[in-house]
Amino acid sequence: MIHEKIIILDFGSQYTQLIARRVRELNIYCEIHPFNKIPEMDKDVKAVILSGSPFSVRDENAPNPNLENIRKKLPLLAVCYGAQYLAKIDGGEVLPSKIREYGRANLSYVDSGDLLLKDVPDNSQVWMSHGDTISILPSNFKIIASTKDVEIAAYKIEEEDTYAIQFHPEVYHSTDGKQILQNFLFNIAKCSADWTPSTFVEDTVSGLKEKLGDDKVVLGLSGGVDSTVAAVLLHKAIGENLYCIFVDNGLLRKDEFESVLNQYHGMGLNVKGVNAKDRFYDKLQGLSDPEKKRKAIGGIFIDVFDDESNLIKDVKWLAQGTIYPDVIESISATGGPSATIKSHHNVGGLPDYMKLKIVEPLRTLFKDEVRRVGKSMGIDSELLGRHPFPGPGLAIRILGDITAEKVRILQEVDHIFISSLRRDGLYDEVWQAGAIFLPVQSVGVMGDERTYENAVALRAVESTDGMTADWVHLPYEFLAKVSNEIINKVKGINRVVYDISSKPPATIEWE
């Protein structure tokens, strides 16, 4: 099925992905393309959106796209930089702002009769982020919104379905931003909202059947959301011709290998569990540097995966759980400033000698969409709701060298923490949680005896995409109970601390 779509031209704004996510939330398919690689405007393209940018339109090297195949031919919405760009190229004037507007502002004038601003109230809060201001508009441009500091907060070009706004409707701080996007997409671009999880599944399964035929596909499962949803989609398309490999690197959470493997078998997937703990521990012996640990884990994973793949006769395809932010990052003309969702702990690609073609069934989806697609296919909510977990596993939550004993201790600590979050109904309020084994020992007292044992840190953050995060204000009573249970039950730990650092300046993981 061919879906109607919106093209978003990326000028490098940190918010470009948010525009796409808001459009997708309205069940309309959209794609992000670099401003200097404008795709053909096929008949299924309903409208174009121009993003913001870290550039000023007055910069010598500012983005300067050719819009002749868009202007007057398709509805166009220009946001922030896009608004300034259209005004400038048509003969208007853009100057440095006397008052740089950044953050919340309120509209002081709204043309309620305009289609773009229908049902947007006076005094609506918007989010500004710009150092330049449109000072003079071309004669055929009409102001349709203002703030007390910015007279030209929004405009329409007469005799065109071209609209521009100085603020960002895609961020939550713009309280009527969703209404503005709805107005543009439904009232102006006449979209019909035909992009849903169920249609995605139907289209993807059909496309995979046609693409793969009777070929065999191998997929490395991690227990995470992306690889799980990719596996179920492929299984629907090719059944037993999908060969899944789930590797136990000895760095998973307590009992995770067995429990997740059982879940996969219960889903009917053709999956093989491989115990490779000793190979990983041997390679990690004596390594303390985080990057060296990552590279060692990545190298062994590839070796194990290659060994297992060679046991399957005539495999032609490697399936990967690549999602849309990864794709955007790889094609961005400006080096990736708009890719606000990044996977920091990927094991990495496979070497050339494996000679497998790549299939990526999730490459058009954002993370939240992956979960919705998984839900529509009936995947267990526990699997879909799992917190993100780093590819190198507990290796980067053990500061310093890795030993089987340290892994055992951290698994026990982590199990108490995560189980307590679930038991007290806090797990789903946290975006990611875990424990960190610290490379310090401290004096303690247990009974009448002096101890000199290890310390662990607990970490729980709230976030939407992992790019920024704040520490979760877990109840003191909860933390006290968890700390007491860890110290009493986990031999080798006599001190527990709670990490109250936000990202930035800290990161979510410690390594």
Q: For 479, which DSSP code?
A: H
Q: Does the CA dihedral 169-172-175-178 come out positive or negative? A: positive
Q: How many CB atoms lie within 10 A of CB 343?
A: 17
Query: Is 265 a catalytic site residue?
Result: no
Catalytic residue of the set 30, 80, 191, 244: 80
Catalytic residue of the set 30, 101, 130, 170: 170
Report how far residue 386's alpha carbon sits from residue 319's, in angstroms, rounded to the nearest whole number. Answer: 21
Q: Note if the bond before 390 is cis, omega within 30 degrees.
A: no
Nearest to 129 by CA among 96, 97, 103: 103
Report how far residue 377's alpha carbon sits from residue 232's, in angstroms, rounded to the nearest whole number. Answer: 8
Tell me the CA distances in angstroms from 146 to 99, 117, 130, 133, 335, one per residue in order: 15, 12, 15, 12, 34
Query: Is 168 a catalytic site residue?
Result: yes
For 165-178, letters b (16+ CB in 10 Å) and e give bbbbbbeeebbbbe
Element (H, E) at 131: strand 125-136
Q: How many CB atoms lie within 10 A of CB 189?
A: 21
Say if residues 71 and 100 touch (Cβ distance below 8 Å): no
Report how far residue 336's alpha carbon sits from residue 349's, in angstroms, rounded to the nearest whole number. Answer: 19
Report how far residue 369's alpha carbon sits from residue 198's, in angstroms, rounded to the nearest whole number. Answer: 11
Say if residues 284 and 293 touch (Cβ distance below 8 Å): yes
Which residues neighbour 145 within 8 Å (Cβ) at sequence distance 6 or greater?
107, 109, 110, 111, 117, 153, 154, 165
Catalytic residue of the set 4, 130, 168, 235: 168
Which residues does residue 388 pair with via DSSP β-bridges, in sequence order? none
Residues annotated as part of the active site: 80, 168, 170
